[in-house]
Amino acid sequence: MLLVGIDWADDHHDAAIMDEPGNILEAFRFSNDQDGYDLLHQCIRRYEELPGQALVAIETKHGLLVHELVRSNYCVYAL
């Protein structure tokens, strides 16, 4: 299981990818557009090929990024 935390903002987002014990594997910033979403997917796939095995926590329950995460079959938790 992979854990992904996303700090949501209007024009960019900060993300941290962690393993189950909570070790940070990668931290990065991505833009709020398709190029940024592609980068997010690419970074997650470095550690987990199956989207359903990645738990994503994000600070909002709506918007294009949330839609993209749900569409891509990640387990999304709005905080």
* DSSP three-state, residue 59: coil
User: For the purposes of burial, counting CB atoms within 10 Å of the CB of 15, is it exposed (0-12), middle (13-18) or buried (19 or more)?
Assistant: buried
C-alpha triplet 67, 7, 15: angle, nearest 5°: 85
Beta strands in the chain (DSSP E): 2-7, 12-18, 24-31, 54-58, 75-78
| Cα separation, 48 vs 54, whole angstroms | 7
pLDDT in tens, 18-43: 999 999 999 999 999 999 999 999 99
Distance between CA atoms of residues 14 and 23, nearest Å: 17
Model pTM?
A: 0.93
Work out the mean pLDDT of the chain and round it to a whole number.
96
